[in-house]
Amino acid sequence: MNIKRVLLMVPPVTRPTSYGADRMRVSPFFPLGLAYLAAVLRERYEVKVLDCLLEGIERGPQPYGEDAIRYGLRDGDILYQIAKFSPDVVGVSCLFAAQEWDAKNAARLAKGFIREGGPPLTVLGGPHAGANAREIMGSEPAVDRVVIGEGERSFPALLEWEQERASVVDGVAWRCSPEVGDEEGEPHIEIYERGTYIHDLDSIPLPAWDMLDMGRYARLMQPHDRCRQRPFFVASTSRGCPYNCGFCSIRGHWGDVPRFRSADNVLAEIEALVTRYGIREVHFEDDNLTADRGRALALFRGMAERFPGLSWAAPSGLAMRNLDDELLDAMAASGCYSVSLAIESGNQGILRLMRKPVDLARVPGLVQEIQGRGMLCKGFFILGYPGETKATILQTVDFAKSLQLDWAFFFVASPLPHTDMWDQAKAAGMLAEGDWNPLTSMHEPVLRLPGIEPEWLVEVREAAMREICFVRNPNILRNPDQAIADFEHVLALYPHFDFAREALGRAKAREEAAIEQH
């Protein structure tokens, strides 16, 4: 096989009509992983990156079949783009469970493009694809290969193998031709598990920003949470996490040992973003930005010195173990305005079940230390973990109420395939075949918890969110400007949230009263 052109694709978003943007936000997001991969591949191949969500998002939702809607390019548009570029290989990103159907569909569309020499080779990659390689390839014949884990070395090595058949590639799932004697002539799927990782992350080129429409991302991309200044952009300074939480799939993708870019390498990336694209805010997408305390301290001090006025946040959450006074001071001085703490539970016993290294006794004081430095403090909580009771769930809600957080995020526990939580739930009979749907399971209870009705769990989650974030939001009294900004942000996404509109009115009344007093 002679490979000259490689198309890297972000699939569009197809959902049941009941899961439109009025229920779950839909937004383009810069494909950082594909941008890194493109930067490596273009040294040898002609490469194009096609973001099917970005390209069609401004059309709004389009009907798709009888009971679904599509955000992004339609199938015919995708086929046109494939034919126009005429790739030898199509690589499709599949980061999350909810992308699985669209990633498979993109592979099917690619296989429908007939060119001289046959259809292109189709390759899926990303955390979800890698963790579920055998299941994905077993259920979708259009997927030829799956890259398991990071792709900057495995994907180029795979392309070399396809041309030269030289040696086995580390971290790839293969669809092999049927061997003589195979039962019913079925294709054989071979998994070559990842054994090595890139330890010198500084050796990877900076993302190929120039191959994507940075202006459109700056205009259309919505942050995971909020941003203070625009244009904002995303960066990742490390891979992996030193912890081993039972609900997390990160180790399956990045490996057991976390790896870090040097502070100087990250500062060079920020410099490029600021000077080339006018970026005023950075969101670090790391799984644990401060896991290496010394490196984090050097990074934040370098940011304070070189980029005054730049703001930043880590919306994916920070582990609390390293957040001491010196590090918090450096964070505040370097432009950090929002800290999200991965607290997860208000019961120490449930935290032990999760293998979550959080000391609840320290949390209230840490929240005050963060807020005392002028940074917002938000918290993540999981409700309905295997082993929970109604009492422990309500204890988590009460603990969240006591913290006076600027915002709280509550998630119904949903096991990701092949995590310890998944295995534990299946072994205990809490998760049966067919209970888990990759499109909806992150938003609906799927675990059969003894003594806990799914409807009750949903009601508790929604009531906790309304009471803590809206009814009793502490910023209505202490910082009404912040409360107003938060409520207006929610209403811009979900204008039918009447409780948010009522809270906005109270915050504005409080602001007016404060003005009159002065």
d(CA 92, CA 114): 18
Predicted pLDDT at 180 = 43
Of the listed ranges 52-56, 256-260, 492-496, the one predicted with least confidence: 492-496
Sign of the CA dihedral 455, 23, 252, 259? negative
pTM over 0.75: yes
Beta carbons of 17 and 193 less than 8 angstroms apart: no
Question: What's the confidence (pLDDT) of residue 301?
Answer: 98
Name the amino acid, one letter, at 322. N
- Using CA of residue 367, residue 370, residue 376, residue 382, what is the dihedral sign? negative
**Residues sharing a CB contact under 8 Å with residue 365, sequence separation 6 or more, in sequence order:** none
Q: What is the pLDDT of residue 166?
A: 66
Q: What is the pLDDT of residue 181?
A: 43
**DSSP structure string for 213-231:** -HHHHHHH---SS--SSSS
pLDDT tens figures, 339-390: 999 999 999 999 999 999 999 999 999 999 999 999 999 999 999 999 999 9
CA–CA dist 393, 172 (Å, integer): 40
The set of residues, in sequence order, having a beta carbon less than 8 Å from that of 407 and lying 6+ positions away, is 225, 376, 378, 379, 469, 486
* Contact by Cβ (8 Å): 220, 47: no
Would you state the structure tokens that stand for residue 154, as one six-digit string? 């495995």
d(CA 77, CA 7): 15
Q: Vertex 497, ends 495 and 500: CA angle to 5°? A: 105
* Torsion sign over Cα 509, 511, 514, 518: negative
Rg of the chain's alpha carbons, rounded to an integer?
24
pLDDT value at residue 150: 92
pLDDT digits (tens, 9 = 90+) for 200-259: 999 999 999 999 999 999 999 988 878 899 999 999 999 998 888 999 888 888 888 899
Predicted local distance difference test score (pLDDT) of residue 74: 96
178 pLDDT tier (thresholds 50, 70, 90): low
For strand 281-284 and strand 259-260, is the pairing parallel, antiparallel, or unpaired? Answer: unpaired
pLDDT at res. 68: 92
- Is the model's pLDDT at 316 over the cut of 90? no
Report yes or no: 56 and 78 within 8 Å, Cβ to Cβ: no
| pLDDT: which is higher, 176 or 260 | 260
